[in-house]
Amino acid sequence: MGIPGSWRLRNQRLSLVGEVCHTCGNKIFPPRDVCPHCAREAQHAFQFSGRGEVYSFTTVFNPPAGFEEYAPYTVALVKLEEGPIVTAQLTDVEPERVAIGQPVEMVTRKLRDDGHAEVISYGYKFRPRITTD
Amino acid sequence: MKPITPVGIVGYGAYVPRYRLPASEVARVWKGEGGDPPVREKAVAGLDEDTLTIALEATRNALRRAGVNPQEIGAVWVGSESHPYAVKPTGTIVAEAIGATPYTLAADLQFACKAGTEAIQAGIGLVASGMVRYALAVGADTAQGRPGDALEYTAAAGGAAYLIGPAKESLAVFEESLSYVTDTPDFWRRPYMHYPTHAQRFTGEPGYFHHVLSAAQALLEHTSRKAEDFRYLVLHQPNTKFPERAARRLGFRPEQWKTGLLSPEIGNTYAGAALLGLTAILDEAGPDELILVVSFGSGAGSDAFILRTTEQITARQKLAVTTREYIARRVVIDYALYARYRRKLLTE
Ligand SMILES: [Zn+2]
């Protein structure tokens, strides 16, 4: 399925669109000019399934400015089913219920909402998997 | 209304947030009048959720079931009374996130609790005319009641999405539809007001019952159908009593409405309410079954639809999380956490 290039770049944050290398076939996230596996140019947009598992995690009690209301929250390295590891906030889970190897899935949530006048920032997070497949 | 070309639902999807506020918590804090609460508990959105995130997850579930190329979606319409922005469409963010941009219509609709079914009516027209192959219609809300107001028991969060397309690709086909509106001041919210106002004397009989019953009866009469022809019924559900009473007055029996009546467990999800009830029905319906759907939006009006399921429904039910699975994912919160999650506390 052809996805216009302009869409792919704006959407890596909304819906986990990365690339697949047309030379070695590795899946790449975030999208970049050169394939980290074979150093060729990576070109084809690829929609990741959003499924993965917790590779490592830490709980943030003293968040940076703008994220105070969400604390405490857990930030994890998530190993995607297709290979790449991404850093993301976990949601819909109590910090004490997070474990290495836990199956998670991507959802789009508010990353930051600065109040009444600013643009709302949306992006991917991961939550414990509820999809049955 | 019946389109010249047959049109149906190619994919549907639900979303219900995981937090639940029991009615007993509202009664504990605000000293309810006693008697049965309007619902047992309601679904509450988390801190990082809003109408956009709810609409988007429901939409992704609809697309999982539909399996179409998002570039062929020619309209993305989101009906809600709690859009994240007063100016800036929710529809463009949904369209962008699913890969339907840039050649698509996108807009937000507003008609209290019937904004989502209004989007379906418009989608049927656009698909039937051949102007677009698929149209996406979403109803989603994160409704808020004034603290202490009766609405606080029921005002809930949730949503559902429908991909409208050609009948031959559909899991349910629209046989006939009808819309019924009047100027009725039962419930409103002016710009810059955080909470809505309701006129008690207009909410029951002249509001909900008049419009729901008039739309349903006119559609049944027009199609020469009777209550017993239907396997399922789903009505707008602001509480438990109203839809049960309206269903009885239309001659339906509990086994026809119980699958789609979710308000006792999740509250009133406003623009999501009738549409979420319909997802629960589509999750369990078999082929060739008739469904009657009637929404209601204050202000006021109802959209009524007769749907017939097709053989394609069975294979698509399990392609996404079911409505029951979302409802079962339940975390009970107390009024204090609720006040924090819904930003009812002043922090600066
Ligand atoms: Zn490569």
- pLDDT at residue A133 above 70? no
Task: Measure the CA–CA gap between B126 and A112, rounded to whole angstroms.
Answer: 36
- pLDDT at residue A9 above 60? no
The pLDDT value recorded for residue B164 is 98
Write down the ipTM of this complex. Answer: 0.92
For chain A, say whether B157 makes contact (Cβ under 8 Å). Answer: no
What six digits make up the tokens of B100?
A: 């339907």
Nearest to B117 by CA among B234, B195, B285: B234
Tokens 């474990």 identify what position? A99
For chain B, the domains span 7-171+315-341, 172-314
Q: How confident is the model at residue A2 (pLDDT cuts 50, 70, 90)?
A: very low
Q: Do A110 and B93 touch (CB under 8 A)?
A: no
Q: How confident is the model at residue B94 (pLDDT cuts 50, 70, 90)?
A: very high
What six digits make up the tokens of B65?
A: 């079931």
- pLDDT at residue B225 above 60? yes
For chain A, say whether B99 makes contact (Cβ under 8 Å). Answer: yes
Cβ neighbours of B56 in A, within 8 Å:
108
More reliable by pLDDT, B244 or A1: B244
Among B25, B41, B57, B81, the active-site one is B81
Cβ neighbours of B332 in A, within 8 Å:
none
The pLDDT value recorded for residue B118 is 97
> What's chain B's average pLDDT?
94
Nearest to A122 among B71, B93, B326 (CB): B93
The pLDDT value recorded for residue A5 is 46
Per-residue pLDDT tens for A25-65? 999 998 887 899 999 886 788 999 999 999 999 999 999 88
Q: How confident is the model at residue B198 (pLDDT cuts 50, 70, 90)?
A: confident
Question: What single string gives the DSSP state of each residue in A33-45?
Answer: SB-TTT-SBP-EE
Per-residue pLDDT tens for A74-112? 999 999 999 999 999 999 999 999 999 999 999 999 998
Query: Which chain B residue has the Cα nearest residue A11?
Result: B97
For chain B, say whether A125 makes contact (Cβ under 8 Å). Answer: yes
CATH of the domain spanning B7-171+315-341: 3.40.47.10
The pLDDT value recorded for residue A70 is 87
Task: Measure the CA–CA gap between A75 and A98, rounded to whole angstroms.
Answer: 10
Q: How confident is the model at residue B98 (pLDDT cuts 50, 70, 90)?
A: very high
What six digits make up the tokens of B245?
A: 């009473």
Among B198, B210, B211, B236, the active-site one is B236
What six digits make up the tokens of B179?
A: 């819309």
- Mean pLDDT, residues B44-61 taken together: 97
- pLDDT at residue B66 above 80? yes
DSSP one-letter code for A118: S
Distance B236 CA to ligand 1 centre (A): 53
More reliable by pLDDT, B311 or B203: B311
- Work out the angle between the directed axes of helices B241-249 and B210-223 (0-180°, nearest 10): 30
Per-residue pLDDT tens for B278-329? 999 999 999 999 999 999 999 999 999 999 999 999 999 999 999 999 999 9
Per-residue pLDDT tens for B129-185? 999 999 999 999 998 888 888 889 999 999 999 999 999 999 999 999 999 999 988
- pLDDT at residue B33 above 70? no
Tokens 């027209």 identify what position? B125
Rounded (10°) CA dihedral B123, B124, B128, B129: -50
Query: Which chain B residue has the Cα nearest residue A131?
Result: B321
- pLDDT at residue B189 above 50? yes
- pLDDT at residue A116 above 80? no
The pLDDT value recorded for residue A1 is 33
Superfamily of domain B172-314: Thiolase/Chalcone synthase (3.40.47.10)
